[in-house]
Amino acid sequence: MDLPSSPASRHLSSKPTWLERLTAFLLREPEDREELVELLHSAFERHLLDADALAMIEGVLQVGDLQVRDVMVQRGQMNMISVDDPPEAIIAFVIQSGHSRFPVYQDSRDNVIGVLLAKDLLRFGAGAPLPLRQLLRPAVFIPESKRLNVLLKEFRANRNHLAVAVDEYGGVAGLVTIEDVVEQIVGDIEDEYDTHPVDDRIRSDREGRWRIKAITPIAELNGALGSQFSDEDFDTVGGLVVGEFGRVPKRGDAISLGGFHFKVLRADSRRIHMLLVERETAAGGPL
């Protein structure tokens, strides 16, 4: 015979789940993106979302606004291999860089003829002939203006991990990986080999601007930009900018510091991830 349930057990069984509470909260049907973000932050304050979930949802919303040029490795920082390089030099370069995929070019860095996977070199011993052209995988070319949400869908559908970005004239502008796109949603992905070298934290573009990770030490920023920011109160560029704002800024927020214009490229509710920095003109605006 079934025993009658107690009022306490009935109360527990009728308690709405986390998903039901969030769904009910969002049924207010926000009118635009800003109102949706406000609702999400309100849900976080009401403990319907934790900080990690909120950050990832914000990342998903931002991906649709970003283009490949916003996250790609600039042409000058790309690790590329010439098809005419000797095998010994290629193997040494692959080992030293620690990457798994390399664009291969012929004659000019604008003439990418394929992609070399580091794992394809494993079956060749020291001194063995290296048929580089036979090892190349097809290269994927995309415009640097492509939206990241579209690129992520293509990466998943085609099982690609790397694409070469080209400018309006067909020249190589940069390189983007699936990791670069996913990091916009979940934050920086690090492994035991990821030591954030200076040329990865600070990247210059053809317009004289710098894309700088917020984790960059202020001393490295000063060395790269010739600036004189103090590191007495903050260790990183992100800490410096947050300290000046007095809050965690949103994507698109900008501030002038020490003759430079800092614009937030990527941030979530907890921290800044990426900044765009350029020198200011005499009038006080960016060049």
CA atoms of 264 and 287, how far apart (whole Å): 17
Identify the CATH number of the domain defined by range 196-279.
3.30.465.10
Phi and psi at residue 233, to the nearest 5°: -95, -30
* pLDDT attached to residue 139: 92
**Backbone CA torsion sign across 124, 126, 131, 136:** positive
Cα distances (Å, whole numbers) of residue 29 to 24, 38, 45: 10, 12, 19
70-181 CATH, one of 3.90.1170.50, 3.10.580.10, 3.40.605.10, 3.90.226.10: 3.10.580.10
Task: State which amino acid sits at residue 4.
Answer: P
| Burial category of 165 from C-beta neighbours within 10 Å (exposed 0-12, middle 13-18, buried 19 and up) | buried
Cβ-proximal residues to 188 (8 Å cutoff; 6+ apart), any chain? 213, 215, 273
Q: What angle do CA 110, 206, 278 make, to 5 degrees?
A: 160
46: helix, coil or strand?
A: coil
* pLDDT attached to residue 192: 39
Tokens of 30: 């926000």
pLDDT of the chain, 287 residues: tens digit per residue: 455 555 544 444 556 676 666 666 555 566 666 777 777 777 777 777 776 777 777 777 777 778 888 888 878 778 899 999 888 888 888 888 778 889 999 999 999 999 999 888 877 766 667 788 888 999 999 999 998 889 988 998 888 889 999 988 889 998 998 888 887 777 665 543 444 444 568 887 767 888 888 889 999 999 999 999 998 888 889 989 988 998 888 878 899 999 999 998 877 666 788 888 999 876 556 65
* pLDDT attached to residue 95: 83
Tokens of 199: 């040329």
Domain range annotation of the chain: 17-63, 70-181, 196-279
Tokens of 270: 């907890």
| Element (DSSP H or E) covering residue 283 | none
CA atoms of 131 and 129, how far apart (whole Å): 6
CA atoms of 243 and 246, how far apart (whole Å): 5
Instruction: Print burial letters for 179-218: b (CB count within 10 Å at least 16), e (below 16).
Output: ebbbbbbebeeeeeeeeeeeeebbbbbeeebbbbbbbbbb
How far is it between the farthest Cα atoms of the chain?
Answer: 86
Q: What is the DSSP letter of 215?
A: T
Tokens of 227: 């600036």
* pLDDT attached to residue 55: 73
Asked whether this chain's domains 70-181 and 196-279 adopt the same fold, the reply is no
* pLDDT attached to residue 21: 64
